[in-house]
Every structure is written in structure tokens, then in C-alpha cells.
Amino acid sequence: MGPESFELLREFAPTIFVLGAVYCLGSILPITRTWARSLIFAVVWSVVAWYLHWRLIATILPATGTWYEIGWLWICFAIELLAITEQFILYLMFLRTADRHAEADRHEARMRALPEDQLPSVDVFIPTYNEPIEVLEKTITGAPCLDYPNVKIWVLDDGRRQWLKAFSEAKGVGYLTRPDNAHAKAGNINHALTQTNGEFVAIFDADFVPQRNFLMRTIGFFFDAEIGIVQIPHAFYNHDPMQTNLALRKTVPDEQRFFFDAIMPSRDAWNAAFCCGSNSVTRRTALRAIGDAVPTEAITEDILTSIALLRKGYLTRYLCERLASAWHRKRLRLSSSSASAGRGARFKSSISPTDRLVAV
């Protein structure tokens, strides 16, 4: 092996080391344990610190040239630091994670031990605008099968369609509409809140079908007076476009699993989980604390509701169980949603610095 080969090996050694570590340790590290997460955090950020030292000492400070050339180097370095800072916050959040399965088991047992007339009342909202019957039929047919005696199903039709009203009545569910479409989905929900009186409100998008035990697994969390919302992951019973088009159905999880299976449990451990709209249950008395309505300042009324409730002392709890599923027909609009939430979140000034950090 010649000098060039050794030089090439030296250049690729860090990459080979990282890939080997991921392959060898990824399947054996107890990733849910705090010590394992702390170990990964320490190793990763030690490498990043070494890289930043090299980046500054070897590539930035020795650089020579005109003022605008040096200025451009520092601008690029500053952008790089911003990206690394964002990743640092994410890794910091991953130091904790929450598993609520056992807690949900205890709550469900407690709920099922109660007499039916002592179970709190729940209104189930199915907001819709222009979805066809092929989408709505599954949800409207499945929702009445919830294993919960004190529940009322409501279809919130912003399309004011007579055929949907007739279909809802045939299925034995309530039908609500309004004369306009002000504030889109948030306005639709707020109108329904004025027409109903359940102690809790569950929301399902038009294509999400809940499992029978959805309410029994979630309502018990509200025995804790601090809980304002319980959120369940968005799950899908078909493959997303990347899995389908690249024939990766068995080897790559769908695009939302990282968010719902990794990020949200970690946010929950920091008490920084947030409502994702569908598959959520909200305490009505908590909504009364913020004006008896969900915020309408942006299209992300779900995230803004969590922030507004946090300001009033109510937490959003996250249960990572697939208790409702839909057809994978659209991709997350994370960029536009995050930007919209940022524009509408004038609530942040009154929440703690830690909550503000993990809410970024």
C-alpha cells in the first residue's frame, strides 16, 4: 500500500469510524436510557467541537484576501454556526424521552372501572371542506364505533353540502355548518365549540379513522388538572411517495416517523409537546381560559393553541401509540407551518426560557 493509499485512508477514516459505530452500536445501545443518550451527545459534540476548532483555526483565521472575500468567509461561517446551533438544540432535547404506554394502561383501567354515567362527555369533531365521499366515508363510519359511551360525533362541513348532511344523518352523527368560511379550519372548530358542550373535544381530520379504544387510552390523562391537550401520532395505512416510488417500503420508515416517534416523545419529556391538529383531545375548560376558542392568527391553530394554553399553565401530553390512521395522501408542510406559527405566536413572552428554547 503506497503513500497515496494511506493518505486517502486518513481522509476517509472519520467517515468510516462514524459509519462503523452506527452499524455496530445502533442496534445494541439502549437508546431509551438516559446514559446512552448522554454518551451519544458527548461523543457527537466532542467531534463537532473539534471540527469547529479546525474550521476556525485552519480555514478562517489564516485566510487572506480583500475585505469582501474575508467578509464572505465570515458570513459563511456564521451561517454554519447557526445550523450547528439548531442541531445542538435538537440533540439537547434528545437527552430526554418519555414513554407514556404504562401510564395510559393505568388510566384506561381506571376509566373502565368507572360507571358509564361518571365518564366525562366528549364531542368528536370531523372538520371538512371539500373532501369527497371516498375519504369521508371511512371516518364518519368509523368514529361512531369508538368504545366510549358518553360521546357525540359531529361533522363540521365548511362546504355546506346537502349530500354530506344526508349521509351524516344516515350514519347517526351530528352535522354542523356555518354561513361563511372565516378563519378556515380554526373558524370551523370555533363555530362548533359554540354549538356543543362536551367536557372534552376530540378532533380528527377528514381522512383519519380512530381505533375503538382511542378515547379510553387518552381521556384518563386529564385526571391531571395540568393537562390541557393529549396528542396522538399521525399514522398511515399506506406508504408515502418516497417509499413507493423508490421501492423502499420494507427498509425506510415513512417521512413522519422521525417527528412522531423520536422528536415528539423527547419534546414531551421536556413538557414541550404541542398539538398537531388531528388525533388530539382538548379540555374545554382549558379552552375557556384562552377565550373559549382556538387561535385564528395563523393557519397553525393547533400549535398556537398549545402555546396559548402553556401560557395559562396547561401542558400538552403526547402518547406515542397509533390509535388513528389515515391514507397517506399529502406531505407535511413543515416550513410554511413553522413560519406561520412564528408569525402568530405573540404568546411566547410569558413562558419560561426552557419552554421557549425547546419550542424553537
pLDDT at 159 over 50: yes
**Average pLDDT of the residues in 38-54:** 92
pLDDT at 336 over 50: no
Which residues share a beta bridge with 202?
124, 281
Cβ atoms of 213 and 193 closer than 8 Å: no
**Strands 315-318 and 227-231, bridge-based pairing:** parallel
Count Cα neighbours of 313 within 13 Å in the Cβ-side half-sphere: 6
Q: Please state the pTM of the whole predicted model.
A: 0.85
Cβ atoms of 239 and 327 closer than 8 Å: no
Q: Report the first-to-last Cα separation within the chain, whole angstroms.
A: 50
SS (H, E, C) the chain: CCHHHHHHHHHHHHHHHHHHHHHHHCCCCCCCCHHHHHHHHHHHHHHHHHHHHHHHHHHHCCCCCCHHHHHHHHHHHHHHHHHHHHHHHHHHHCCCCCCCHHHHHHHHHHHHHCCHHHCCCEEEEEEECCCCHHHHHHHHHHHHHCCCCCEEEEEEECCCCHHHHHHHHHHCCEEECCCCCCCHHHHHHHHHHHHCCCCEEEECCCCCEECCCHHHHHHHHHHCCCEEEEECCCEECCCCHHHHHCCCCCCCCCCCHHHHHHHHHHHHHCCCCCCCCCCEEEEHHHHHCCCCCCCCCCCCHHHHHHHHHHHCCCEEEECCCCCEEECCCCCCCHHHHHHHHHHHCCCHHHCCHHHHHHCC
CA–CA dist 257, 239 (Å, integer): 12
CA–CA dist 210, 54 (Å, integer): 52
Q: Which of the four pLDDT bands, split at 50, 70 and 90, describes residue 246?
A: confident
Average of per-residue pLDDT values in the chain: 88
Active site residue 158: yes
**Average pLDDT of the residues in 242-253:** 72
pLDDT at 122 over 70: yes
Q: Which domains occur in the chain, in start order?
A: 3-93 (no CATH), 101-358 (3.90.550.10)
Cβ atoms of 127 and 203 closer than 8 Å: yes
CA–CA dist 156, 176 (Å, integer): 5
Cβ density class 126-136: b for 16+ within 10 Å, e for less: bbbeebeeebb
pLDDT at 195 over 50: yes
Q: Burial level of 148, CB count in 10 A (0-12/13-18/19+)?
A: buried
> Residue 157 has which C-alpha cell?
362541513
Residue 33's pLDDT is 86
Active site residue 355: no
pLDDT at 273 over 50: yes
**Average pLDDT of the residues in 33-45:** 90
- Could you say which of 123, 158, 205, 240 is catalytic? 158
Counting residues of the chain whose pLDDT is more than 70, the rounded percentage is: 89
pLDDT at 35 over 50: yes
- Could you say which of 123, 207, 268, 302 is catalytic? 302
**Cell 413560519, located at residue:** 339
203-234 pLDDT tens trace: 999 999 999 999 999 999 999 999 999 999 99
CA–CA dist 187, 209 (Å, integer): 23
**Cell 435538537, located at residue:** 90
